[in-house]
Chains A and B, each alone.
Chain A
């Protein structure tokens, strides 16, 4: 098991290196150091100031390979090396836009994201599992087919529709919550009310249907038949026998989502003016702030890989039949 985890971590290193390579290539395909300097320092900046700005950040070097240097310097004195390898030690550098350490900004931005993704995560897990149990209990009846129909309806709606209509209904028509904005704790509840509601509704259809299928697969198994033959009540079978075993796929499915709670939700955050990591990513993207962009994408990739590894670990932890070689 330990060996397997170490191997997985080692395999994720080249993937993260690839992510950095793609990010770097796309970034400098779209702009040049001089353009960024102009954009950040303004049109009126003098040439020397711009040259200086570029030199300080090491952007006057070649991109990947420095042919004029000698020995190891051929690789180390390049833009890619100076800007991307520091990421591997979680050193994100200073933001070009704000001139503050990026790690500081990210820490500051992670909490707003968490304050609405964590409630969404737990509430939607609770609601979708209980509704899935409900549908599984009434399987084959009119209630079940209506429920699955509603699930497919929910799956066919784009999140943007939820965002716009909820914003309209709850804040413009019913005036229950502000349209957008952000505040300190007790007031924050009013600001996260609509985003949380959207987060829950948007994912509900798909997850209820998925969990319902899992529950039905479980109730078709031999031990459930035995329990029925013993004369146990259907509710007992569902809650005491089937649910425990159905939790394995449910758990491994949700583990993947946990690392992403930190990333927030890109679209929802930009709409509701939540100063989280998602809106930070979009802002950094449109202002060509390389240190912030690479930090966000790097963290996203690391979290994705961590999610994959955690899923594998949780499989082995819950199910004793699974052994990794």
Chain B
């Protein structure tokens, strides 16, 4: 019982942590007068603003699904743990059907005049679960994977990128060798192998994705550090006798952070897509967890039926597509706002 409880807690802590980190970041940007113009830039571009609000809305749904508390039943005078229900489950928990039901289909119970009043907006899947509820739950999985993977790969990429760019020579050669090696292995094969090594699970999946995705960030950080290293402000910091750690963290990092941020945001949609591909290959999220990849996987048999069951794949596709679209547009708006080098066409 306590074991279940702990697992729930652990899974829900990760997204909460990611959200609070993000909030802290946004707050710190808002406090800094130098960075305040970012808000105006994003507020000025309509697609950027729309994307931002859509992301917030989806984030809210994911957060609602994150906060879980268990249901206790009292059987024979003993308190029994049943299962955890999230806030989302409590808000929207449609009845279960026998099997497939088309969107908005009226449910006529056999040998009775009573019609089931509740209709499923997007129908139900093979085991009778409401498709809309499943797709909404997929949001949490997507946010968790994108957030946790970025939390893993960002520090790795920044750390090795700064070291390689700043020290150069042997350190640089070693780190470049390491990431070139990882990069040279075909990505899907490496992911399959890593998932086999780690075993199935959400945290394991994020670790595997983190191992393959820090390379791109590291490359960006290294290149930018190389560019900044010989600039006047770094030279004067050196002349003042500051230690390399201080120069890297207090002087170079703030100057390249915007580029890191942009490339991290633009990578998020790739991570969500990778989750779908891996779940589809059967090595993604553990069974029992809502995931768009699993929904799309089911669609292969469903489309071959007559009449074709199209609602499952459409729902998964709609949410994934809008999320990826919002991330892409938000990333573009962020790039326009943060990077003075990009020309506004």
Contacts and interface: CB of A to CB of B under 8 A. Distances in A.
A232 interface: no
A128 B313 CA distance: 28
A19 B181 contact: yes
A14 B313 CA distance: 45
A164 B194 CA distance: 26
A297 B185 contact: yes
B304 to A, nearest CB: 7
Interface in B260-277: 269, 273, 276-277
Given A18-B178, A26-B197, A300-B184, A164 B300 contact: yes
A158 interface: yes
B184 A216 contact: no
B320 interface: yes
Interface in B274-320: 276-277, 280, 296, 299-300, 303-304, 308, 313, 317, 320
B39 interface: no
Nearest to A270: B281
A161 interface: yes
A18 B343 contact: no
A15 interface: yes
A172 B280 contact: no
A107 interface: no
B196 A301 contact: no
B105 to A, nearest CB: 22
B180 interface: yes
Contact of B181 (A22, A164, A168): A22
B276 A160 contact: yes
B69 to A, nearest CB: 34
- Of A18, A30, A160, A305, the most chain B CB neighbours within 10 A belong to A160
B192 interface: yes
Interface stretch (B4-12, B78-86, B127-135, B321-329): B321-329
Interface in B161-220: 177-178, 180-186, 188-189, 192-194, 196-197
Contact of A263 (B186, B196, B317): B186
Contact of A301 (B185, B188, B197, B276): B185
Given A158-B320, A164-B296, A285-B192, A220 B277 contact: no
A161 B292 CA distance: 11
Dominant secondary structure at the B interface = helix
A16 B343 contact: no
Contacts of A217: 343
A158 B273 contact: yes
Contacts of A14: 177
B345 interface: yes
Nearest to A169: B303
A158 B185 contact: no
A152 B324 CA distance: 9
A156 B193 contact: no
Given A156-B321, A156-B324, A216 B345 contact: yes
Contacts of B276: 158, 160
A309 B194 CA distance: 28
A26 B194 CA distance: 8
A139 B344 CA distance: 12
Nearest to A155: B328
Contacts of A22: 181-182, 185
Given A22-B181, A266-B186, A139 B277 contact: no
Nearest to A217: B343
Contacts of A263: 186
B328 A156 contact: yes
Nearest to B300: A164
A30 B321 contact: no
Given A139-B345, A158-B277, A19 B299 contact: no
Interface in B63-111: none
A160 B293 CA distance: 9
Contact of B183 (A156, A172, A304): A304
B304 A172 contact: yes
A196 interface: no
A30 B197 contact: yes
A168 B308 contact: yes
A185 interface: no
Contacts of A49: none
Contacts of B277: 158-160, 267
B322 to A, nearest CB: 8
Interface string A133-171: 000000110000000000011011111110011001000
Contacts of B332: 152
A89 interface: no
B325 A164 contact: no
Given A15-B180, A160-B276, A297 B296 contact: no
Nearest to A157: B321
A216 B342 CA distance: 12
Q: What 9 A-B pairs are tightest by C-beta distance, nearest first?
A: A18-B181, A156-B324, A301-B184, A156-B325, A158-B273, A304-B184, A168-B303, A26-B193, A300-B186
23 contacts: A16-B184, A18-B177, A18-B178, A22-B181, A22-B182, A22-B185, A23-B185, A26-B193, A26-B197, A152-B329, A155-B324, A156-B328, A158-B273, A158-B320, A160-B296, A164-B296, A164-B303, A168-B308, A172-B308, A266-B186, A285-B192, A297-B186, A297-B189
Given A30-B193, A156-B325, 9 more contacts: A15-B181, A23-B185, A26-B194, A156-B269, A157-B321, A216-B345, A266-B188, A301-B184, A301-B185
